[in-house]
Amino acid sequence: MTYDNPENPTLYETFKPKIEKYNEALKAGILEEYKIPDDVIPTSYGVDVTKIPEKFLTKSEILITELKGVDLAAKIAKDEYTSVEVFTAYAKRATMAHQLTNCAMELFMDEGLKRAKELDEIFKSTGKTIGPLHGLPISLKEHYDYKGKITHAGYVGLIDNISTETNQCVQILYDAGAVFYIRTTEPQLLMHLCSNNNITGIARNPNNTGLTTGGSSSGEGAIAAMKGSVFGVGSDIGGSIRAPAGFCGVWGLRPTQKRIPLLPLVPSGRKVQENVVPVLGPLARSAEDLELFMKVEINSQPWKNDATLIPLPWREVPIPTPKQLKVAIVYDDGVVKPTAPILRGLEFAAKKLKEAGVKVVEWESFNVAETVKAAYNGYNADGNAGQLSLLKLSGEPILKLSHYILEEGSGYKGQTAAEYQGDTGIRDLNRTAYLKKMEELDVDFILCPVYASVAPLPETVHYWGYTNLWNILDFPNVIFPTGLKCDPLLDKPDSTYVPRNDYEKYEHALYDEDVTKFVGAPINLQLTGKRWFDEELVKASKVVAEIIEN
Amino acid sequence: MTYDNPENPTLYETFKPKIEKYNEALKAGILEEYKIPDDVIPTSYGVDVTKIPEKFLTKSEILITELKGVDLAAKIAKDEYTSVEVFTAYAKRATMAHQLTNCAMELFMDEGLKRAKELDEIFKSTGKTIGPLHGLPISLKEHYDYKGKITHAGYVGLIDNISTETNQCVQILYDAGAVFYIRTTEPQLLMHLCSNNNITGIARNPNNTGLTTGGSSSGEGAIAAMKGSVFGVGSDIGGSIRAPAGFCGVWGLRPTQKRIPLLPLVPSGRKVQENVVPVLGPLARSAEDLELFMKVEINSQPWKNDATLIPLPWREVPIPTPKQLKVAIVYDDGVVKPTAPILRGLEFAAKKLKEAGVKVVEWESFNVAETVKAAYNGYNADGNAGQLSLLKLSGEPILKLSHYILEEGSGYKGQTAAEYQGDTGIRDLNRTAYLKKMEELDVDFILCPVYASVAPLPETVHYWGYTNLWNILDFPNVIFPTGLKCDPLLDKPDSTYVPRNDYEKYEHALYDEDVTKFVGAPINLQLTGKRWFDEELVKASKVVAEIIEN
């Protein structure tokens, strides 16, 4: 290590009571009226827990939590459900989700109930909803400033930090009628495609609790799969919406940058890295609810308060017919070839799409390694100075995947401005090269894996290239389920394959050991559209997913 | 100097024949049929040459070259003028402009005439124009790649560089029917608010040839004031459209970034600096023609070929009434107080606007020094590595204002990526702070000087803050004439004023010596709108200028 190690066991000792207190508050948030009995919680990992909550819900609660957000909002607006009824169903689901997967960092069900009651009173007295999300329970990654609440962004050193204002994206949802009641977990540094942190620990994948939820919007992946919110808000600079959506088997959208408000975020700093720009976006259970999020945000004209945003209105575009769809499929990015279950998913998708009349061609990957490297370089162009200063606040231990990412890219050395600008150049050249390639192939979308494999074990995943390629190119992506799951009988690893590089060697080894560990892991895929054309992408993803799933 | 001096007299000697040849070609471009007799060219400087060409033009040619581009295009489309008639009038004006101000780097009148003839033939055979610019003679800064032509961007070392493709912005104009015939001059490095280079030397301000045209779109300022093109294309990363437009007394628009195609440009490199982003934009003689440029560019949907552009369509917005206009006026940016003629212009403007019913408030400048510093830092964040490598190609002498800008900002030292990101942060915070301040004051526009004074003598101007503040904030600007000119009797310098800093001391001294040198220098002003709201800005500038001028 060439850096000044921020770990400081003595200092960290002084934070342990604070961590304990934080976890006590989290535990106290598990209210009797919403919880499942402790004795039904599985005591070992490797279990599918997605069906457990249903045993403790009424038929009506199941119905409510199975509805799409758009439909639920319509029913609330027609007085078919009260906000309190809806909230109660979701409060149960979310509480149980946390009990089963450790997906929450903060539960504030009382506040949620109070808000739902207020919304019902407004509806009763005015006959109108306050906005398109009236009464919809929505989950939030802990990452976003929330006035009056602790926001630590996964840093022990910020465990006393109380936000003085609310993130604009969150405020817009609130103003549109959302009910907040849970803030979900994230890894240390917010930079693992996994979930561990020194405050609340590892979150578990609901489909198989032996596996990671993905990250950094780790809790959002889990709660979506547990149907614990209508939709949730994640953030993504390298895959942080898409890995959890993919690994947990739900939907996620990483929109094109500068359309959705980003600030304020914790940690806040005056340094802005823009070779790869973070974006906020939804994790949900349908394409329609991804769109609902986007419409609410963009129709509020957030650029009036934030000059970094672009006034691109949300356009209403038609749902394409299968015959109008033109898709290129990535079977291999040239760096890490997908493992057996993912290849099966891609081949299955190609077959179904072709049968439905979709134009399907193969995408020959190009410039992936250099572009992905530029993305990694961007993360620590400052030589990790910002992250180290925050770790230093508490002296907390640096976790396994934190070490990985701090040493990736430009590492502790950082970059000069000239090197950084060289990566900006690589980024811009490839943005246009990818666009031109799409035009040359005459396709509007690119279908590819979310990651080289299905959800791996916690604290193992390294290679971000299937997601962070699109972050740096800033082409928007939708993650969607294929309906397929990893099956040890069908998805045997190819033991004859010779890895082309260290990334591939490492990632393939993760899948190579004992395939039965991955049973039930969802096989999701990633659909990418043209930059700024989020509208077309969301609509296309609905059709693509329906063709593949049915 | 801590850097490796790129000057190399021996090497430079080998380039001198090339420079000579280049200038011979330029001279050969002055065709007999378009020129003025050599003996009417003033032999000393300090002269207003704007009226000279009229003596050598027919009434019809004067009429053609006085029309706005939008009206001229309409007349061509109605067969009232042929493209050849229009071209001939402009070819004369442009040739004379060059003879009187040294505004050209390349004259290719034969090609222009050929193109005009072809356009006439198309119109004759189809009865239709090929696009909204059919037959309009348009000038181009030399800076832009132009297939088959030398493009050196002011670097002697690139004097053999022949472009293999044409800049997209230029191509769009061509495809819309533009006629090209002149490429105009620019300073060494493209980074002076002035005009000198080692190839074609200094350009002269048509209103007073003792003064600078401004830069770096130096020739475009001069040709616009000489009515030598319908409009021209400039580029601006610190004031390069606006200083020439302001100093020469014409109109100029620096649009919000990423709406107009930028590439390819010379010098091309893989390093991209985006703390302050360069933009292409028009210099013209009316607000309508600024808008014409924007509509042609944006309506061509350039984002389909360039993924760095944003698909923001050009919106048709109404012309505001004076009572709908809300303007804040900057009388002092807190760094360099404007000199007497500019203060007179601002006060005159305020009075006229108020009389017309416009809401006028005073803008209290804030964070200017830190924001302008961040812009300067951006220019040489790479420690001038890119520029030095290009200077080194020929060993050419580094000119006075090149030295100034190479030593400004982060100078030869350059920045680390972390420092650079700190400036990105300053940029973004102030983007939003300025937007919020506009909302707080309830204004839509900010009126301020173009520079702290009127056009100064060649090779003297240093302070870019009145223009590059808006580059880094990326708020769009229109430069327009007030109709006022510097008058030594009215605009005496304030000899009692005590400068607050070195910038102010230096710039005030430029105006302080002998005011008669500045006689006739136009007093233009700069109107700034909200980021991305170029449409509203252009329309408002028309009304504001009409109120002030009439």
CA distance linking residue A269 with residue A279, whole number of Å: 16
Does A375 reside within a domain?
A: yes
Chain B residue with CA closest to A431: the answer is: B307
What is the pLDDT at residue A259?
Answer: 98
C-beta atoms surrounding A403 within 10 Å: 11
DSSP B286-339: SHHHHHHHHHHHHHT-GGGT-TTS---PPPP-PPPPGGG-EEEE-S--SSS---
pLDDT in tens, B475-485: 999 999 999 99
Does B171 reside within a domain?
A: yes
CA distance linking residue B178 with residue B358, whole number of Å: 37
Q: Do A414 and B418 touch (CB under 8 A)?
A: yes
Backbone angles phi, psi at B382, to 5 degrees: -90, 15
The alpha-carbon radius of gyration of chain B (Å, integer) is: 22
Out of B270, B383, B425, the one facing A425 most closely (by C-beta) is: B270
Does A483 reside within a domain?
A: yes
For residue B3, pLDDT over 70 is answered with no
Does A4 reside within a domain?
A: no
Parallel, antiparallel, or unpaired: how do β-strands A477-485 and A251-254 relate?
antiparallel
User: Binning pLDDT at 50, 70 and 90, where does residue A2 land?
Assistant: low
pLDDT in tens, A223-260: 999 999 999 999 999 999 999 999 999 999 999 999 99
Backbone angles phi, psi at A85, to 5 degrees: -60, -45
Backbone angles phi, psi at B117, to 5 degrees: -60, -45
Parallel, antiparallel, or unpaired: how do β-strands B231-236 and B279-284 relate?
antiparallel
**SS3 for A446?**
strand
- Any catalytic annotation for residue A139? no
Distance from the A208 Cα atom to the nearest Cα atom in chain B, whole angstroms: 40
DSSP A46-71: S---TTTGGGGS-HHHHHHHHS-HHH
Q: Could you give the angle at which helices A465-473 and A417-441 cross, rounded to 10 degrees? A: 100
What is the pLDDT at residue B175?
Answer: 98
- Any catalytic annotation for residue B216? yes
C-beta atoms surrounding B538 within 10 Å: 26
CATH number at residue A312: 3.90.1300.10
Out of B306, B414, B435, the one facing A307 most closely (by C-beta) is: B435
Encoded tokens for A160: 């006393």
Does A30 reside within a domain?
A: yes
CA distance linking residue A166 with residue A168, whole number of Å: 6
Angle at A267 between CA B434 and CA B440, to 5 degrees: 20
Residues of B within 8 A of A435 (CB-CB) are: 304-307
For residue B182, pLDDT over 80 is answered with yes
Q: Do A310 and B532 touch (CB under 8 A)?
A: yes
Q: Return mean pLDDT, chain B.
A: 97
Q: Do B428 and A532 touch (CB under 8 A)?
A: no
Q: Do B421 and A530 touch (CB under 8 A)?
A: no
Out of B418, B432, B533, the one facing A382 most closely (by C-beta) is: B418
Beta strands in A18-143 (DSSP E): 104-107, 138-141
Give the total residue count for chain B. Answer: 550
Amino acid identity of A1?
M
Task: Report the sign of the C-alpha dihedral through residues B447, B452, B458, B462, in that order.
Answer: negative
- DSSP letter for B20, please: H
Residues of A within 8 A of B427 (CB-CB) are: 272
Tally the domains of chain B: 1
Out of A308, A310, A421, the one facing B310 most closely (by C-beta) is: A310
Does B4 reside within a domain?
A: no
Give the total residue count for chain A. Answer: 550
Chain A residue with CA closest to B473: the answer is: A307
Does B1 reside within a domain?
A: no
Distance from the B269 Cα atom to the nearest Cα atom in chain A, whole angstroms: 8
Phi-psi category of residue B110: left, alpha or beta, with phi > 0 → left and psi -120 to 50 → alpha: alpha
Residues of chain A with pLDDT > 90, as a percent, come to 97
Interface probe for A, chosen from B165, B257, B265, B271 (most Cβ of A below 10 Å), is: B271
CA distance linking residue A324 with residue A540, whole number of Å: 10
Strand partners, A480: A525
pLDDT in tens, B453-492: 999 999 999 999 999 999 999 999 999 999 999 999 999 9
Neighbouring residues of A133: CB distance < 8 A, sequence distance ≥ 6: A69, A73, A173, A176, A177, A178, A292, A296
For residue B123, pLDDT over 70 is answered with yes
Cβ–Cβ under 8 Å, residues A336 and A503: yes
For residue A222, pLDDT over 60 is answered with yes
Neighbouring residues of B478: CB distance < 8 A, sequence distance ≥ 6: B251, B252, B253, B287, B290, B526, B527, B529, B537, B538, B541
Distance from the A169 Cα atom to the nearest Cα atom in chain B, whole angstroms: 16
Q: Which strands form B251-254's sheet, in the order they lie side by side?
A: B104-107, B182-184, B138-141, B231-236, B279-284, B251-254, B477-485, B522-528, B445-449, B326-329, B359-362
Long-range CB contacts (within 8 A, 24+) of A362-365: A362/A328, A362/A329, A362/A331, A363/A328, A363/A329, A363/A330, A363/A437, A363/A441, A363/A446, A363/A448, A365/A330, A365/A332, A365/A333, A365/A334
DSSP A347-395: HHHHHHHHHTT-EEEE----SHHHHHHHHHHHHTTTTTHHHHHHHHTTT
User: Binning pLDDT at 50, 70 and 90, where does residue B2 land?
Assistant: low
- Any catalytic annotation for residue B83? no
Mean pLDDT, residues B265-273: 87
Residues of B within 8 A of A432 (CB-CB) are: 305-308
Residues of B within 8 A of A418 (CB-CB) are: 271, 381-383, 385, 414
pLDDT in tens, A527-548: 999 999 999 999 999 999 999 9
Parallel, antiparallel, or unpaired: how do β-strands B359-362 and B326-329 relate?
parallel
Question: pTM above 0.90?
Answer: yes
- Peptide bond preceding A268: is omega within 30 degrees of 0, i.e. cis? no
Residues of chain B with pLDDT > 70, as a percent, come to 99
Structure ipTM: 0.96
- Peptide bond preceding A320: is omega within 30 degrees of 0, i.e. cis? no
Residues of chain A with pLDDT > 70, as a percent, come to 99
Q: Do A414 and B416 touch (CB under 8 A)?
A: yes
Interface probe for B, chosen from A271, A410, A444 (most Cβ of B below 10 Å), is: A271
pLDDT in tens, A415-469: 999 999 999 999 999 999 999 999 999 999 999 999 999 999 999 999 999 999 9
Distance from the B476 Cα atom to the nearest Cα atom in chain A, whole angstroms: 12
CA distance linking residue A411 with residue A370, whole number of Å: 16
Q: Do A382 and B427 touch (CB under 8 A)?
A: no
Strand partners, A528: A446, A477
Q: Do A272 and B428 touch (CB under 8 A)?
A: yes
CA distance linking residue A110 with residue A19, whole number of Å: 22
In chain B, count H helices and then E strands: 17, 11
Residues of B within 8 A of A308 (CB-CB) are: 428, 431-432
pLDDT in tens, A26-80: 999 999 999 999 999 999 999 999 999 999 999 999 999 999 999 999 999 999 9
Distance from the A274 Cα atom to the nearest Cα atom in chain B, whole angstroms: 8
Convert B430-468 into a string of H (helix), E (strand) and C (coil). HHHHHHHHHHHHCCCEEEEECCCCCCCCCCCCCCCHHHH
Domain region containing B224: 17-267+276-549
Does A115 reside within a domain?
A: yes
Q: How far is CA B249 from CA B280, B407, B484, in A?
A: 19, 30, 9
Out of A417, A432, A435, the one facing B414 most closely (by C-beta) is: A417
